[in-house]
Structure 1
Amino acid sequence: MAWLSENERRARAEDVTRDRAVLLNQTLLTAVALIAMALALAFNQVRVATPFITGATILFTATGLAVLVPWKRLPFWAVGVLPLADIAAITELRAAAPDAGLGLLWSFPAMWVGALFGMAGVIGATALVAGSYWFLLAMDPDQTVSTSTVLLPLVVAALATISYLGARRAHAQRDLLENQSRHLQHSVDRARRQEDLVTEVLDAVDFGVIRITTEGDLVVTNEAHAQLQGTVEGAGVDLPAYAADGTTLLEVEDAPIARARAGDAFENEVVWYGAAGEGRRALNVTARRLREIDGADAGTIVVTRDVTAEEQALRARDDLVASVSHELRTPLTSIIGYLDLALDRGDLPEAARRDVEVAERNAERLLELVSDILAVSTISRRGVDFSVHRSTVDLSEIVFAAVEAKMPKARDRRITIDTTRVRSATASADAHRLRQVVDNLLDNAVKYHRDGGHVIVDVGSDGGRVHITVSDDGPGVSEEETPRLFERFFRSDAVRNSTTHGSGLGLAISSEIVQAHGGEIVVDTRLGSGASFSVLLPAVEEGAS
């Protein structure tokens, strides 16, 4: 049936329906007529035997034709022969037994004709039945005109009309259902095509995709996920999973898929599978929650990508940078030392002294850049804690020391540093690392400020946190660049256009140090309206060890 057109399928369906309707209507009429004829004989209401036998013969013949003739092969109008034969048969039966009420049987063929041929059939059948009924009344002198003379044709007409309306309504409903069925089939076909397309696309990409239901079941996976899953299994046993640093072993419930099944959402988390030296693999995993149109939870989508080569290349780069930076520090320190010794000589000509001072400033700047790069290389790219030696420190002491060291450069450019808001605040921190943070913030505030500017340093506590805030009224940073301030090697337009150049590592290093202390750096800046950087750290009670 799949290769047939819509019209052919409808025609076949109508043919089968027609055969069933013919058989049902004829057999039902015959069954009721048999009962009526049996009652008429039982009550001796048959006056003339010949029309009685003739009517029964016509009725049974029509029933046989309804069973034997393949009506679906004949024209549609051919079916009308049966109800006409039924009307004739009932007319004969009524003539043979006028008092048996057999005229009520005319309702069956009239309803049949009304359903088959519409309003024309209703009118024709009503006229034929009424004519037959009134003809019998006129031919029988014992019959008189009464209410039934008019009521019987009206009842037949009403029943035929009801049958017509019912058939029309059924036909309309059938058309509606067929249209809905076609639309539904088209929707199903379109959804199947889209599903096949999505499946092909998912299987074509090189990253794994998993759909997890709200119950934690995996309902969608692609070939790439199966291949990636194969890389993290050894001899049929799941390999141990490690955090981004490659050394911290993850518990089973902390593995990405387990977390996604539990409802967690995360972005670009790197997980190493397998111990070091065993062909381990690194996977980048992202889990995002899905929502239905009405906002209800629809589960989780997990995207997995093999980043082993990238991670290994980045680690190799960091190792190389650290090695080169470390090797550069020794000769630079020696150069600066000898330049200091040269400047200490009293017999150094003034012109030569100026040249040596330029060389010293540039050597110090180069050493500062190398130190920043070396500091970055010691910190994990994924924010893993590095070496922090904590002790209870007063932040005000660290800030005053940093401000004192920065004052000479500030005075040279007539920049004032206001420390009147510095209050004593205690925190558990690494004083050396925290001094590095304050130095970076003050250095930026002075280095990229205009001459004659103003810098405010604020230290205090607020509930369970302490803060160090460095604010200035300098050029500020645009809204578009603000989210990138803590990226490594990023420099804003204001910095790039400045005569003083930086490495773009100071804020990145400061952010890593603050995060290692369990705190955060918050920035508030607008282009042309200055900038404010706040270091927020957990506070400790004064006197606590």
Structure 2
Amino acid sequence: MSVKELATASRVLRYVDRAGARTRVVLCQLPLSVAVAVIAVAAPTAWADAAAAPLFAAGILAQMAAALVSLLLPWEQLDAAAALWVPVLDLVSVWLLRNGGPHGALTGTGALAVFPVIWIAGSTLSARIALPTALFGPLLITLPTLLTPGAAGHPVFSDALLLPPLMLTVAVAIRAAGAGLRLQERALRAHQAKLKELLEEAVEKEALLATILDAASVGIVAVDPGGRPVRWNEAFRSLLEGVGWESPADFDIADRAFPVFTKDRRARVEPDRRVLHRAARGESIDGEMVWLGWGPRARALQVVARPVDGDRGGAVVSYTDVTQLAQTAEDKAELVRTVAHEFRSPLTSVLGNLDLALEAELPAAARSRLEVAQGNAERLIELARDLMASSEVTLPIRPARIDLSAVLAARAEAVQTAADAAQVRLVVDLPPQLWVQADPLRIGQAADNLLSNAVKYSPDGGVVTLCAAEACGWVRVEVADTGIGISAEDRPHIFDRFFRTDAARGLDIPGVGLGLSFTRMVAERHGGRLEVESEPGTGSVFSLVLPTAGPS
């Protein structure tokens, strides 16, 4: 059988299986009943002469009885094997019709045995019962002809001889086809059961995943390769609603009207540089901060993104709402700026008056006290300057093409006085010219911090070396000292604001722990970095690494 035929047969079997027991019996009986009715109508002579052929009339009545039995009996309440008495009655009916017609006129009706044979062969009877019945039933039907003397050379004899093996062949074919269909049906049902199990498992996992995502306090969204959201959690939906977007399904991160700003809330992020598009292109993002929305509804978000492996691509992005932390940091920075500004104004006045007082003729003791006051006032001015610089969330820079050697030499000359006072030898080893794209003011401030720290942290004298070199598009400025050094425990924290080592506090070295934090900010704003190598008791080497081409 072809695949199409098997599919058709399978659909028929499914329909029959879904039907009730009575419907199945009626459907199995219907073809023979219709055929007998046609024969009765098509053989008026035999029907009119029924009184002369009582066996033919009995066959018609037997068939009517089989039809009524199949229709009226409550087969749902009976054993399934009980229905097989109907095809047996059909075989009796066919025997009567074939052998009871007048003058053997209806011997061809023996072929009607095919209907009960098909029924019996397709039933749940074992092959040991069904196949012999399919052979001996038709044999009994044709037996009168086969036993008739002198019939051996007649065509009717040949037909009667072929009918039993033909019916057996039909029964064998039906059993084989039924077995194949049953095997395919079992395989199909096993496959359907497996698919159902997998579907139920997938639904359970989907529900678990949705619950996990919605339980997360951070907004999580999965995007397709085009950067459009395809799956999100409740926190992400609430986040968008909070900044004025109705639904994640309509969320278009490329919409220029939608406000996405950088960390400083000043520069608008272009669509192709926004997080979802960058993540969809395969970029990993760790802890980047952006602002979403404007006005009082704007939210500060810390972003982590990872691309999805596989052919479908896309990415998963998480947004952590850090608005309160960002606002707290801004308030703190604003407080520091305000305090620093309020310090500088009176301190500038104090220094001006001290300078005027020191210009006059004063006793040595009075001059000494005024110079001490002047030195402390200058330290407070420097502290205020550092506080102002460190309070900037993003340090503004104005890069230009400069001779870095000249800038560094000028800063070394400015710190020479402090080095002489601390009995520290300052060694400057710079190339004649070193051209870079950088902000001369910020680079000068960074160099000041590194040089002054090197001098301060060499309290017993020593050597401070300033050198610079360019290689492969990068310039490295190194400030090395032979001072107290930094312990392994303190090295991870020296770039934190207001951090000071126990050694510095123990030696009463002045400072508030802002210089290195500011210097690292300068390096990063230029697209570079600040590195340190140090061991306690042997000194430190700070390296300011900058790209010669300037900030990217």
Q: What TM-score do the two structures reach when normalised by structure 2?
A: 0.68
Tell me the SS of whatever aligns to 1:427.
strand
Tell me the SS of whatever aligns to 1:296.
coil
Tell me the SS of whatever aligns to 1:523.
strand
Q: Which residue in 2 is equivalent to 1:250?
A: 268
Contact 2:523/2:530 (CA < 8 Å) preserved in 1? no
1:309-333 C-alpha deviation (Å, 9 max, x unpaired): 5444433322221222233346667
1:138–1:323 Cα change, 3 Å? closer
Q: Comparing 393-402 with 191-200, which one deviates more in the overlay?
A: 191-200
1:352-387 C-alpha deviation (Å, 9 max, x unpaired): 98x99999887766654443222212x2x1x2526x
Q: Which residue in 1 is equivalent to 2:516?
A: 507
Q: 1:425 offset after TM fit, Å?
A: 0.9
Q: 1:533 offset after TM fit, Å?
A: 1.7
Letter in 2 for 1:250: R
Q: Which residue in 1 is equivalent to 2:396?
A: 385
From 82, 87, 106, the equivalent of 2:86 is 82
Tell me the SS of whatever aligns to 1:250.
coil
Letter in 1 for 2:297: R
CA distance, structure 2, for counterparts of residue 25 and residue 527 of structure 1: 99
From 427, 446, 449, the equivalent of 1:437 is 446
In the TM superposition, what are the counterparts of 1:32-431 in structure 2 within 5 Å?
A: 49-67=53-71, 69=73, 71-96=75-100, 105-118=112-125, 120=126, 122-136=127-141, 139-140=144-145, 141-142=147-148, 148=162, 151-152=165-166, 154-156=168-170, 158-166=172-180, 168-173=182-187, 175-180=189-194, 182-184=196-198, 186-187=200-201, 189-191=203-205, 193-194=207-208, 197=211, 201=215, 205=217, 211-215=222-226, 217-220=228-231, 229=240, 232-233=243-244, 243-246=262-265, 248=266, 250=268, 253=271, 267-271=287-291, 273-274=293-294, 280-286=296-302, 291-292=307-308, 294=310, 296-298=312-314, 301=317, 303=319, 305=321, 307=323, 309-329=324-344, 334=350, 348=365, 368-377=382-391, 379=392, 381=393, 383=394, 385=396, 388=398, 392-406=401-415, 419-420=428-429, 422-431=431-440
CA distance, structure 1, for counterparts of residue 542 and residue 507 of structure 2: 19
Contact 2:427/2:466 (CA < 8 Å) preserved in 1? yes
Tell me the SS of whatever aligns to 1:269.
strand
Q: 1:536 offset after TM fit, Å?
A: 1.0
From 1, 5, 30, the equivalent of 1:27 is 30
CA distance, structure 1, for counterparts of residue 143 and residue 223 of structure 2: 84
Aligned residues: 504
Contact 1:107/1:159 (CA < 8 Å) preserved in 2? no
CA distance, structure 2, for counterparts of residue 167 and residue 327 of structure 1: 94
Contact 1:321/1:373 (CA < 8 Å) preserved in 2? yes
CA distance, structure 2, for counterparts of residue 295 and residue 155 of structure 1: 55
CA distance, structure 2, for counterparts of residue 213 and residue 301 of structure 1: 11
Tell me the SS of whatever aligns to 1:297.
coil
1:486-512 C-alpha deviation (Å, 9 max, x unpaired): 443456798789875753322321233
1:455–1:262 Cα change, 3 Å? same
Q: What TM-score do the two structures reach when normalised by structure 1?
A: 0.69
From 439, 450, 458, the equivalent of 2:467 is 458
Q: 1:128 offset after TM fit, Å?
A: 2.6
1:432–1:169 Cα change, 3 Å? closer
CA distance, structure 2, for counterparts of residue 282 and residue 268 of structure 1: 16
CA distance, structure 2, for counterparts of residue 326 and residue 449 of structure 1: 31
CA distance, structure 1, for counterparts of residue 121 and residue 405 of structure 2: 103
Letter in 2 for 1:16: A
Contact 1:282/1:306 (CA < 8 Å) preserved in 2? no
CA distance, structure 2, for counterparts of residue 252 and residue 508 of structure 1: 30
Contact 2:220/2:316 (CA < 8 Å) preserved in 1? no
CA distance, structure 1, for counterparts of residue 468 and residue 55 of structure 2: 122
1:284–1:208 Cα change, 3 Å? same
Q: Comparing 422-431 with 526-535, which one deviates more in the overlay?
A: 526-535
Contact 2:490/2:501 (CA < 8 Å) preserved in 1? no
Q: Which residue in 2 is equivalent to 1:3?
A: none
Q: Which residue in 2 is equivalent to 1:533?
A: 543
Q: 1:283 offset after TM fit, Å?
A: 1.0
CA distance, structure 1, for counterparts of residue 411 and residue 69 of structure 2: 114
Letter in 1 for 2:124: F
Contact 1:110/1:160 (CA < 8 Å) preserved in 2? no
CA distance, structure 1, for counterparts of residue 200 and residue 211 of structure 2: 16
Letter in 1 for 2:128: I
Letter in 2 for 1:372: D
Q: 1:81 offset after TM fit, Å?
A: 2.8
1:93–1:99 Cα change, 3 Å? closer
Contact 1:239/1:273 (CA < 8 Å) preserved in 2? yes
Q: 1:465 offset after TM fit, Å?
A: 5.2
Letter in 2 for 1:183: E
CA distance, structure 1, for counterparts of residue 183 and residue 23 of structure 2: 19
Contact 1:289/1:298 (CA < 8 Å) preserved in 2? no
1:15–1:316 Cα change, 3 Å? closer
Aligned-pair identity (%): 24
1:504–1:425 Cα change, 3 Å? same
CA distance, structure 2, for counterparts of residue 341 and residue 170 of structure 1: 110
Q: 1:134 offset after TM fit, Å?
A: 4.2
Please list every run of 5 or more consecutive structure 2 residues that lacks an aligned counterpart in the other structure.
1-13, 246-256
CA distance, structure 2, for counterparts of residue 294 and residue 480 of structure 1: 43
